[in-house]
Amino acid sequence: MPKVNEDYIYKKKTQILDAAFVVFQQKPLYEMTMLDVIKEAGLSKGGIYRYFGDIDEVIIALLNRETAKNNYKHKIDEIVASTDITVRTIEALFDFLANYIHNSPATLGKFQFELTVYYANHPEKVEKFKSNLTEQENGQYFISTLFNEITKGVNKAEFQALFPLHDIFTFIMTSIDGAVHKVVMQRCYNVNANPIDVRQMFKMISCSVVHMLGVK
C-alpha cells in the first residue's frame, strides 16, 4: 500500500472537519454523530475512521481548530508585562476578556454552551475533553493569571481586601460564567430580546472586583 504523505492527511482531516462544522451549524453539538459527519463529508466509514476514532475526537479537533484562530495567551502576557500597577493590570485583563467575547465568532460561544450540556450527559468524558481542548487552556490561563495578579497585589499590600480572596474569586468566576451565558443565549439562540453590552457588563464586574479589593 503506498505511503500517504502529510499533505494528503491534512487535506482529508480538513475535509472531515469542514463537514463536521456544517453539521454543527445544523444541530446541537451533543446530538452530532459520526454518521452525520460521514454523510456530509461524502466519505466512507473507513475513510473517516482512518483519521478519527470517534465523534469525540472529531469534536475536539473541530473546537481546537476554531479556537486556534482566536488564541490569546500571548496577549494576556503582554497585558501583564505592560504595567507595574497591579490594579491597572486587573482592569486591563477584564477589558481584554470583554473585547474578546464581543469580537469572537458566535460559534465559539455555541461550542462552549453545548459542551456544558454534553458534559452533563456524559460525565465520564469530561476529563478526555478538558485535557485535549485548547480553549480550556486559554480560559484557565486567563483565570490563573487574573487570580495571581490579585494575590500579588494583596501580598504587596496594594490591596486591602474587604472579603476573603476565596469569596472574591468565586464572585469573579460566577460573574464571568453568567455574563458569557447571557451573551451566548442571545447570539446563538435568540433568547434575550434586549441587546447585551458585553463591554459595559464586564466594566461593572471589574469595578465591583476593584471595590472588593479595597481600592479607593
Of 34-38, 98-102, 139-143, 185-189, the one with minimum mean pLDDT is 185-189
Q: What is the structure's pLDDT at 55? A: 95
Q: What is the structure's pLDDT at 113? A: 87
Residues 6 or more apart whose Cβ sits within 8 Å of residue 199: 95, 98, 99, 102
Which is more confidently placed, 212 or 83?
212
Q: What is the structure's pLDDT at 3? A: 63
Counting residues of the chain whose pLDDT is more than 70, the rounded percentage is 97
- Average confidence (pLDDT) over 105-120: 87
- Asked if the model's pLDDT at residue 1 lies above 60, the reply is no
Cell triple for 59:
469534536
CA proximity to 65, closest of 98, 20, 128, 124? 20
CA proximity to 64, closest of 102, 115, 99? 115
Which is more confidently placed, 140 or 94?
94
- Average confidence (pLDDT) over 140-151: 96
* Contact between residue 67 and residue 91 where contact means Cβ atoms under 8 Å apart: no
- Asked if the model's pLDDT at residue 63 lies above 80, the reply is yes
Which is more confidently placed, 176 or 135?
176
- Asked if the model's pLDDT at residue 147 lies above 80, the reply is yes
* Contact between residue 196 and residue 180 where contact means Cβ atoms under 8 Å apart: no
pTM of this prediction?
Answer: 0.84
CA distances from 44 to 6, 33, 202 (A): 20, 14, 47
Q: What is the structure's pLDDT at 171? A: 98
Q: What angle in degrees, to the nearest 10, is found between the helix axes of 106-121 and 134-155?
A: 90
